[in-house]
Structure 1
Amino acid sequence: MILEVAILNVKSGQEKQFEIDFATAGQFISSIKGYSKHSLRKCLEQTNKYILLVDWENLEDHTIGFRQSAEYLEWKKILHHYYDPFPTVEHYETIIENENKNNS
């Protein structure tokens, strides 16, 4: 499993509409082969800053399967005008993972 991490700086004042449009755009990324799940998280200290986390089966599912698809063109049309600057996107593999097993 590969984790895609993108830091999204949204133009100030456009956060609410971005969140609405992001919910709509989710259908395009989630339809791609190798997609597992994604989450969008909002920064508490900077209200126009978000982090996007996407789990992919492998790197190519994102870099080729998604980015070279018609679905990506729709994603781009809906979301890319919100960003300033354009997001930095990196990919990570898990080395160590722990979870609290005491939560009920």
Structure 2
Amino acid sequence: MILEAAFLQVTKGREDAFEASFRKASDIISSMNGYNSHELQRCLETEGKYLLLVRWQTLEDHTEGFRQSEKYLLWKEMLHHYYDPFPSVEHFEIVNE
């Protein structure tokens, strides 16, 4: 199992619109092969900051299956205009359960 983690900084004043768009975009990511689950968390200390966690079966399910799909273009269209700066994404694997 792979955990994708991204800190998302949303432009000030657009948080409600982003959250509404994210709820709609969730259907896109959850329909992808290799997808397990995701959650979006709002930071309590920093306004407009979110943490997106997505669990994938394999790294390639995210980097190739999702990122190179037609559905990713729709995801980008729905969400990427909210971010400033654009987020970096990192992937993690369990070391010890």
Shared fold (TM-score, shorter chain, > 0.5): yes
Which one has a bigger Cα radius of gyration?
1
Give the TM interval when normalised to the shorter protein: over 0.9
> Who is 1:3 aligned against?
3
Deviation at 1:96, TM superposition (A): 2.0
Counterpart CA distance in 1 for 2:39 and 2:96 is 20
In the superposition, the TM-score normalised over structure 1's length comes to 0.92
5+ residue gaps, structure 1, are: 98-104
> Who is 2:77 aligned against?
77
Query: Per the alignment, in what secondary structure is the counterpart of residue 68 of structure 1?
Result: coil
In the superposition, the TM-score normalised over structure 2's length comes to 0.98
Query: Per the alignment, in what secondary structure is the counterpart of residue 74 of structure 2?
Result: helix
Counterpart CA distance in 1 for 2:74 and 2:26 is 10
Counterpart CA distance in 1 for 2:75 and 2:82 is 12
1:95 aligns with 2:89: no
Q: Deviations over 1:43-77 (max 9, x none)?
A: 00012000000000000000000001111001000
Structure 1 vs Structure 2 CA RMSD: 0.5
Deviation at 1:81, TM superposition (A): 0.1
Identity, in percent, stands at 59
> Who is 1:61 aligned against?
61
Q: How many residues align?
A: 97
Over 3 Å off, 4+ runs: none
Counterpart CA distance in 1 for 2:5 and 2:39 is 10
Q: Deviations over 1:14-70 (max 9, x none)?
A: 000100000000011111100000000000001200000000000000000000111
1:29 aligns with 2:57: no
Query: Per the alignment, in what secondary structure is the counterpart of residue 50 of structure 1?
Result: strand
